[in-house]
Amino acid sequence: MKKHNFYAGPSILPQYTIDKVAEGVKNFAGTGLSVMEVSHRGKEFVAVMEEAVSLFKELLEIPAGYEVLFLGGGASLQFAMIPMNIMQKKAAYLNTGEWASKAIKEGKFFGEVVEVASSKDRNFCYVPKNYEIPDDADYFHITTNNTIFGTQLRKDLDVSVPLVADMSSDIFSRPVDVSKYGIIYGGAQKNLAPAGVTFVIIKEDILGKVDRPIPTMLNYKTHISKGSMFNTPPVLPVFAAVQTLNWLKDNGGLKAMEKRNIEKAGMLYDEIDRNRLFKTTVNDVEDRSLMNICFVMNDEYKELESEFMEFAKSRGMIGIAGHRSVGGFRASTYNALPKESVEALVSVMKEFESDK
């Protein structure tokens, strides 16, 4: 039976990526050695790192004045590195969920944090609007996609201070106007590569403005000056990322990905809205994530939740359990998830409904 992978992260990767990585693990770049056992300073891997940077810049149309870094520590380390490097006195944050809340917590170690708005009052089921950002904030931080609660900021914001965005779970899912951002960052394990590498796109002119001393390994300038090679980078995830980036390029780039993602998510949301057994946790259509679709049983059918879960698993649906903060179900429809998997889940939902 075919398995349909809806895990939220680590999550589905293109089969192209898996196949190319498998080849590289056995014989990397014709060296007769595995990519896991060659020097990161050898010409073969240096070429991989250069290609990763080049493809990032090409696919996202990154303008001059920005650097692309590949670091360790996950997005969670960036929650601290960002304020350490660019918060002089004050920063503004939009609180849209668990990861935004964690970023806020780390920011408070380095200065004043202004939470301009929060959707915590309704368990993060919407994206706040009509808030004010202090003009004297050193930056404004957003989390563009909320993997746990299923909301997403699907447009680039226009703000008067440097914009910092955690795009861990929706990077490369749509075109982005990078020029509107000071920093874009994220863990790779949801839409790009295996866990272990973190990407950081950073506008160089926002650096060097803080008074505090910054430890060498936590200073962006360190990694910029060494081309992400100050210490040994996570070679296997970087190699995998290159394969995914090439797959994205070969499949039409980000405009094509956005079109496919809108189609896939639309199919599933339409079924949730139609099916008498289910309801979405995000009512405002413009706030609904195209990457993580969260839904629950309608109140009168709550007792069927575990039965549907087992039914879906028996039909090959993997990883659709909702986060414990929300319950119910979550279907992650990242770039690599084929349309056929969404069609299969919709069929399962219809079949289950017809039996009840």
Would you give per-residue pLDDT tens digits along the chain (356 residues)? 899 999 999 999 999 999 999 999 999 999 999 999 999 999 999 999 999 999 999 999 999 999 999 999 999 999 999 999 999 999 999 999 999 999 999 999 999 999 999 999 999 999 999 999 999 999 999 999 999 999 999 999 999 999 999 999 999 999 999 999 999 999 999 999 999 999 999 999 999 999 999 999 999 999 999 999 999 999 999 999 999 999 999 999 999 999 999 999 999 999 999 999 999 999 999 999 999 999 999 999 999 999 999 999 999 999 999 999 899 999 999 999 999 999 999 999 999 999 88
Final residue belonging to a domain, choices 203, 231, 250: 250
Catalytic residues: 99, 166, 190
CA count, 13 A, side-chain hemisphere, 316:
12
Final residue belonging to a domain, choices 204, 229, 250: 250
Answer yes or no: do 44 and 193 share one domain.
yes
Answer yes or no: do 243 and 324 share one domain.
no
Residues 6+ apart with CB under 8 A from 147: 8, 9, 97, 99, 168, 169, 190, 289, 291, 292, 323, 332
Answer yes or no: do 214 and 341 share one domain.
no
Separation CA 202–CA 167 (nearest Å): 13
Answer yes or no: do 209 and 343 share one domain.
no
Answer yes or no: do 301 and 190 share one domain.
no
Answer yes or no: do 170 and 312 share one domain.
no
Q: Is the peptide bond before 234 cis (omega within 30 degrees of 0)?
A: no
Q: Are 111 and 87 in contact (CB under 8 A)?
A: yes
Answer yes or no: do 167 and 47 share one domain.
yes
Q: How far apart are the first and last CA of the chain?
A: 25
Q: What is the CATH number of the domain that holds 185?
A: 3.40.640.10
Report helix, strand or coil for 346.
helix
Instruction: Give the pairing of strands 140-143 and 90-95.
Output: parallel
Q: What is the CATH number of the domain that holds 296?
A: 3.90.1150.10
Q: Are 183 and 200 in contact (CB under 8 A)?
A: yes
Separation CA 192–CA 55 (nearest Å): 12
Final residue belonging to a domain, choices 201, 226, 250: 250
Total domains in the chain come to 2
pTM of the entire predicted model: 0.97
Domain that holds residue 193: 15-250
Answer yes or no: do 257 and 215 share one domain.
no
Answer yes or no: do 342 and 228 share one domain.
no
Answer yes or no: do 179 and 288 share one domain.
no
